Amino acid sequence: MPRNIETVDLRLLRCFDVLMTERSVSRAAQQMNLSQPAMSIALRRLRALFSDPLLLRAQGDMVPTSRALALTERVRRVLEELNALTAGSTPFTPLTSRAQFTLTAPGYIAYVLLPRLAKHLEKHAPGVHVDVRASNRERATEWLEKGEIDFRIGWIRQPPAEHRFKTLYRDNFVCLARKNHPAIPGRLTTELFCSLPHVRSMVHQRSDSGEVIDQAVEALGRRLRIPMLVQDIFTVPYIVANSGLIAAVPARFARGFAASLPLRAHRLPLDIPDQSIALYWHERTHRDPAHEWFRTLLGKVTRAL
C-alpha cells in the first residue's frame, strides 16, 4: 500500500469514525492524539471528500447529518477490513469467539452430526454460531465460490477441483422394512428389493446416493417402483413402519429409528460403494484460523462414529 494512502486517506477515515463516535472535535482530537486545530482541518477535508457538512451544531452539541449516519457503518466496515488485511493471522480462541459459520448438509447427515457438534460447542465454544441450511446440489458450488456458505457437507463422487475436502466418516446403505413384513420372511434378496414398492426422499432422489442405487438396479435390467416420493427424509421410517413400502437409507440414519419403531434394517442386496461423507470448503478460506479450527472440530466429533 503506498505510504501517502496509509498516512493520509486511511487516517482521515479513522478521524471520521472517531468524530461520529464522540460528536465533538475536541474529544475526537484527544482520542486520535491530535491537536484540536488538526482535527478541525480533518473535518473540513472530510466535508469536502463527502460533499456534506457531516456534523452540525445544534443547541451547543454537534449532531450528524443523515448522510453522515449513512456513511458511518460503511466506513467502519472498511476500517475493519483494512485492519484485518494488515493484521495477519491471529490465534483463534474458541472459548471467547463469536465466529459464525454457515454450512449446508442433508437432513440425514445433520441428524448424525449435529447432536455431537452442539454438545462440543456448548462446552468449548459457547459464543460460536452455526447456521445449517438445507443442501442444494445445483447451487452449493456457487454459494461456496461467492462466500454465501463456508462449508458443504455431503457425498459428492466428483467434487469440483477448486474445492478442498476432508472425509468425515463412511456409511453404507441398508434397506428399511417393517418388522414381520409379509413379503420378506427372511433374508432380503435382490429380487425382493427390486420388486417391492419403495418410498424415497427428495434428498436421495436428487443426489449421488439415489443415482448409484438406480444405476445398480438398472445394471440388473430392472427399475425400482417408487410410488411415494417425500420431501422430508424423517418421514420415511414412519411410512415404512406403517406400510408395505421399503426404503434404501444410510445405515447410521436407520439405526436410530430401528431402535424406536417396528423396523428391521436389511443388508442392501446391491453392489454399490459406501458413502464417503466429506466436508468441502473453498481454497480462499483454507488458511483462515477459525475455519481451520472448525474443520478440525468436525473431524474430532465424527471420529467416534
Backbone angles phi, psi at 136, to 5 degrees: -145, 100
pLDDT at residue 144 in the model:
87
Q: Nearest-CA neighbor of 266 among 232, 284, 299, 240? A: 240
What would the grid cell of residue 123 be? 462446552
Question: Each residue of 26-83: pLDDT tens digit?
Answer: 888 887 878 888 899 999 999 998 999 999 987 767 899 999 999 988 888 888 777 7
All CATH 3.40.190.10 domain ranges in the chain, comma separated: 100-168+278-302, 173-273
Does the domain at residues 100-168+278-302 carry the CATH identifier 3.40.190.10?
A: yes
The model's pTM: 0.67
CATH classification code of 3-86? 1.10.10.10
Kindly provide the residue ranges of all beta strands, DSSP E only, lying in the chain, ordered along the sequence. 55-58, 61-64, 100-104, 129-133, 151-154, 163-171, 173-178, 199-201, 228-230, 247-250, 263-267, 275-282
Task: Specify the CATH architecture of the domain 173-273.
Answer: 3-Layer(aba) Sandwich (3.40)
Lowest average pLDDT, out of 3-12, 31-40, 224-233, 278-287, goes to 3-12
All CATH 1.10.10.10 domain ranges in the chain, comma separated: 3-86
Give ∠ CA 223-225-229 in degrees, rounded to 5: 125
What would the grid cell of residue 84 be? 484485518
- What does the DSSP 8-state code read for residue 145? H
Give the span between the Cα atoms of 203 and 200, in whole angstroms.
8
Mean pLDDT of the chain: 88
pLDDT at residue 6 in the model:
47
